[in-house]
Amino acid sequence: MGYDTAAKTDPESVVPEEWGGMWFLKEELETTDLGVSVLELEPEGKGKEHDETHTGQEEVYFVVAGTVDIELPDSDETVTLEADDAIRLDSEETRQIRNRGDERAKLVLVGAPL
55 — pLDDT class (breaks 50, 70, 90): very high
pLDDT at site 17: 84
Region 42-68: mean pLDDT is: 95
Q: What are the pLDDT digits (tens) for 6-28? A: 999 999 999 888 889 999 999 99
**Mean pLDDT over the full length of the chain:** 95
Domains in the chain (CATH in brackets) are: 29-109 (2.60.120.10)
Amino acid at 24: F
Region 48-77: mean pLDDT is: 96
Task: Give the residue among 12, 81, 94 at the shortest CA–CA distance from 54.
Answer: 94
User: What global pTM score does this model have?
Assistant: 0.93
Count CA atoms within 13 Å of residue 33 on its CB side: 1
Residues in the chain, how many?
A: 114
Biggest CA–CA distance in the chain, Å, is 46
